């Protein structure tokens, strides 16, 4: 099964999404998730049975416009087509509007030419709008009836067709009876309602584009072309033509076009678009380079490895799109309301008609016009757009600040979090050992370096780097041996050398002599201490520590200030864990924890009536990330941790947890504002229409305005202020 996103134009409300999703529900090995606010459908399907082209054909048969080519280019064409259609509709509506004002006879200046008030002329002009420009509403209504998902198109078709047919009836009666009284037609209502809806759709289309700005920015981060080496010659080709294994040449100050391994050259690379870190990263041969980052200094050559959907940038874009498609509980509730809303409105309209006509005796014309106004003004577009537009803007904004939401659920749960548990290594700390203390003669550093460089242990790597930085030189060793869990052993000439922890001292019963006090002090500072022993005598010791990130203390303090209980859960020993817990200020700590036990600890916290988040980065954190109500993975961690989480922080800055929570709260508040508007609008508008205070044409304008208001309110989220991070501005 593969997952691909398809641009689809013409979706205007939740019922449009439901129509598309229901169509594919009836087909095996395929699933559709429609995002109305982004004009996208995310398809999960079996490539052996379906292709993107066949899927697009099915969507097109429903009355929507799928886009398979370049989105930005096709979007310009679609906007131009919408603009032309709108202009034609406005031009054709103007004579009918003039005739309507002429009937009101406010001034002699408004008096329309005789042609404009002629019934046959109005029939033809309104017919061009009703059945020409408005044909898509009829097609949409037909499909929605077939799929049993009644939406906006039904209301527009019922309203406009009723006005058109009633006017046609008046016209036929006028010529049949040869009446001397010129009737007042309602052709302009049919035309104006469609024109108003088109105006609303066009403005909404532009507003939706703005909600996607962050996604478009992400797409634009990718390179369009690559310089590849083929048959010994460099040539520029489109990024789509690059294949795995191609040798890609990247000059200084150029954007790296693809993910791949550096096979020649070395340079500093600006990876801020991925990590948020402003400091360039030094990369050499065999290091991995990410497409979309900037090569700052020297020419390098990359072997392309991850292309298309496998590229990191495309995975980030797909993650944002997928998160926008997932429906949170409040959206599912809105969809249920919308599904019964249209039938409910039709019933209200019919009741209104008979109450005015029979009970109140208001006459057919008044009863008819108020009924049409109810049908037109009650479109549930605003209700359907309330949640997805806000989530799309929130997701896009978060992605620019190195925060990737996996699903919309986070927006509803985040403001309920009462406890957060943190892994230690790589989450609270940097996840990398550094030498903090060296006690002994400098000559012993050569011996330590010579033995440690033979090991691949993380501590040995840290020691080797420290020794090289301090000018250590290798000496000849023999009989090298790693003593599992304790240290290293070797011979230098006739000397027996041991390097390792206090366990080696205990095993070989070596007198610690004058090193006891310094050893105790370093242990209290939560440092790992290793000894150098030559011929059963301690000659030196060094201490290492995985240092706490500068931002960890601030993040923990801010969370505690908000009343969130904090936990440190680590597999490290009690002394180190206690010290780290004390320094960062967490409320509770658990040490010497096995990977399976981390999930059990999270479960225990949940049993204390806490909505619990877990933050981690390693394979051993995956069970806890799954168990937690919200799993938060550090982006520099393992793939399994990221895939097990609900939220990924692309930067190692723990303050992003706070940013993510604050943004989710702002997004949820925005959603509630949208719902308040959508419901309030209908509560006020339907009675106004029923009482005759809204004309049919004005009802069409009000309906379009309601959807635009929801989208514009969602766009207000772009003003959200991030306290600790700056978004990517490339």
| Residues with active-site annotation | 423
Look up residue 311 and give its DSSP letter: S
User: Pick from 191, 187, 158, 190: which is nearest to 171 by CA?
Assistant: 187
On the CB side of 379, CA atoms within 13 Å amount to 35
Listed in sequence order, the residues at least 6 apart from 237 whose beta carbon sits closer than 8 Å to its beta carbon are 225, 226, 228
User: Pick from 270, 96, 250: which is nearest to 187 by CA?
Assistant: 96
Q: What is d(CA 300, CA 298) in angstroms, rounded to the nearest whole number? A: 6
Residues in the chain, overall count: 730
Number of H helices, E strands in the chain: 26, 27
Q: What is d(CA 371, CA 348) in angstroms, rounded to the nearest whole number? A: 9
User: Pick from 544, 528, 547, 524: which is nearest to 428 by CA?
Assistant: 547
User: Pick from 577, 279, 596: which is nearest to 428 by CA?
Assistant: 577
User: Pick from 314, 338, 340, 321: which is nearest to 388 by CA?
Assistant: 321
What's the N-to-C CA distance of the chain in angstroms? 34
**Six token digits for residue 90:** 């406005």
CB-CB contact of 72 with 216 (8 Å): yes
Give residue for tokens 């870190």. Answer: 277
Listed in sequence order, the residues at least 6 apart from 544 whose beta carbon sits closer than 8 Å to its beta carbon are 433, 434, 435, 436, 459, 462, 463, 527, 528, 530
User: Pick from 300, 305, 226: which is nearest to 264 by CA?
Assistant: 300
User: Pick from 653, 630, 656: which is nearest to 411 by CA?
Assistant: 630
CB-CB contact of 289 with 283 (8 Å): yes
Q: CA 53, 55, 57 angle in degrees (round to 5)? A: 70
CB-CB contact of 280 with 269 (8 Å): yes
Beta-strand runs (E) in 331-428: 403-405, 419-423
Q: What is d(CA 456, CA 462) in angstroms, rounded to the nearest whole number? A: 10
Q: What is d(CA 585, CA 579) in angstroms, rounded to the nearest whole number? A: 10
Is the sign of the CA dihedral 448, 453, 454, 456 positive or negative?
positive
Helix (H) or strand (E) holding 687: helix 655-690
On the CB side of 322, CA atoms within 13 Å amount to 17
Alpha-carbon distance values, 532 to 510, 516, 643 (Å): 11, 14, 42
**Six token digits for residue 22:** 């229901």
Q: What is d(CA 651, CA 673) in angstroms, rounded to the nearest whole number? A: 31
Q: What is d(CA 715, CA 712) in angstroms, rounded to the nearest whole number? A: 5
DSSP string across 548-597 = EPTTHHHHHHHHHHTT-EEEEE-SS-HHHHHHHHHHHT-SEEE-S--HHH
What is the layout of strands, in order, in the sheet containing 247-250?
A: 233-238, 225-230, 247-250, 300-306, 259-264, 288-289
User: What is the DSSP pairing of strand 565-569 with strand 537-548?
Assistant: unpaired
């Amino acid at each position: 099964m593969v997952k691909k996103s398809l641009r689809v134009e013409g979706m205007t409300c939740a019922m449009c999404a439901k129509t598309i999703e229901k169509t594919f529900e009836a087909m095996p090995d395929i699933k559709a998730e429609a995002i109305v606010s982004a004009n996208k459908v995310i398809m999960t399907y079996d490539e052996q049975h379906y292709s993107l082209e066949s899927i697009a054909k099915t969507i097109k048969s429903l009355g929507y416009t799928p886009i398979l080519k370049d989105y930005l280019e096709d979007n310009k064409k679609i906007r131009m087509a919408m603009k032309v259609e709108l202009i034609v509709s406005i031009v054709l509506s103007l004579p009918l509007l003039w005739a309507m004002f002429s009937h009101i006879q406010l001034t002699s200046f408004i008096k329309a030419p005789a042609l404009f008030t002629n019934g046959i002329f109005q029939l033809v002009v309104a017919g061009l709008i009703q059945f020409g420009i408005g044909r898509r509403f009829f097609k949409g209504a037909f499909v929605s009836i077939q799929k049993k998902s009644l939406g906006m198109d039904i209301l527009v078709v019922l309203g406009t067709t009723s006005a058109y047919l009633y006017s046609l009836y008046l016209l036929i009666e006028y010529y049949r009876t040869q009446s001397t009284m010129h009737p007042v037609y309602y052709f302009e209502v049919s035309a104006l309602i469609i024109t108003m809806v088109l105006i609303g759709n066009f403005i909404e289309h532009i507003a939706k584009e703005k909600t996607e700005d962050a996604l478009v920015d992400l797409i634009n981060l990718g390179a369009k072309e690559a310089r590849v080496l083929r048959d010994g010659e460099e040539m520029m080709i489109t990024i789509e033509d690059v294949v795995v294994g191609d040798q890609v040449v990247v000059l200084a100050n150029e954007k790296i076009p693809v993910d791949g391994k550096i096979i020649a050259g070395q340079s500093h690379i600006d990876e801020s678009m991925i990590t948020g870190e402003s400091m360039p990263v030094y990369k050499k041969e065999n290091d991995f380079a990410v497409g979309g980052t900037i090569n700052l200094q020297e020419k390098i050559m990359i072997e392309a490895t991850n292309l298309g959907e496998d590229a990191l940038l495309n995975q980030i874009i797909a993650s944002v799109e997928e998160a926008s498609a997932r429906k949170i509980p409040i959206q599912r509730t809105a969809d249920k309301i919308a599904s019964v809303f249209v039938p409910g409105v039709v019933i209200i309209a019919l009741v209104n008609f008979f109450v005015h006509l029979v009970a109140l005796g208001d006459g057919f014309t008044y009863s008819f016009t108020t009924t049409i106004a109810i049908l037109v003004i009650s479109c549930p577009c605003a209700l359907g757009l309330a949640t997805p537009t806000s989530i799309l803007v929130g997701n896009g904004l978060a992605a620019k600040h190195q925060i990737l939401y996996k699903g919309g659920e986070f927006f509803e749960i985040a403001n309920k979090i009462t406890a957060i548990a943190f892994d230690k290594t790589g989450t609270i700390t940097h996840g990398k050992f550094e030498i903090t203390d060296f006690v002994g003669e400098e000559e012993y550093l050569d011996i330590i370096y010579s033995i440690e460089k033979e090991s691949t242990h993380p501590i040995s790597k840290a020691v080797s780097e420290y020794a090289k930085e301090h000018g250590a030189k290798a000496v000849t060793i023999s009989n090298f041996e790693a003593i599992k869990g304790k240290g290293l052993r070797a011979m230098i000439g006739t000397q027996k050398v041991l390097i390792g922890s206090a366990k080696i001292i205990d095993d070989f019963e070596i007198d610690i002599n004058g090193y006891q006090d310094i050893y105790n002090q370093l242990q209290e500072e939560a440092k790992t201490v290793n000894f150098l022993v030559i011929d059963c005598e301690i000659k030196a010791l060094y201490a290492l520590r995985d240092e706490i990130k500068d931002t960890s203390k601030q993040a923990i303090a801010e969370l505690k200030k908000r009343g969130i209980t904090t936990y440190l859960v680590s597999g490290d020993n009690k002394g180190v864990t206690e010290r780290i817990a004390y320094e960062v200020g967490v409320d509770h700590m658990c040490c010497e924890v096995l990977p399976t036990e981390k999930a059990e600890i999270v479960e225990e916290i949940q049993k204390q009536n806490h909505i619990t988040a877990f933050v981690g980065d390693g394979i051993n954190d995956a069970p806890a990330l799954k168990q937690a109500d919200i799993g938060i993975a550090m982006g520099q961690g393992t793939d399994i941790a990221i895939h097990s989480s609900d939220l990924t922080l692309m930067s190692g800055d723990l303050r992003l947890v706070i940013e993510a929570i604050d943004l989710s709260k702002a997004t949820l508040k925005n959603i509630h504002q949208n719902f308040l508007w959508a419901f309030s609008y209908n509560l006020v508008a339907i009675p106004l229409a029923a009482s005759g205070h809204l004309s049919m044409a004005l009802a069409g304008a009000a309906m379009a305005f309601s959807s635009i208001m929801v989208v514009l309110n969602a766009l207000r989220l772009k003003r959200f202020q991030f306290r600790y991070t700056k978004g990517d501005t490339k």
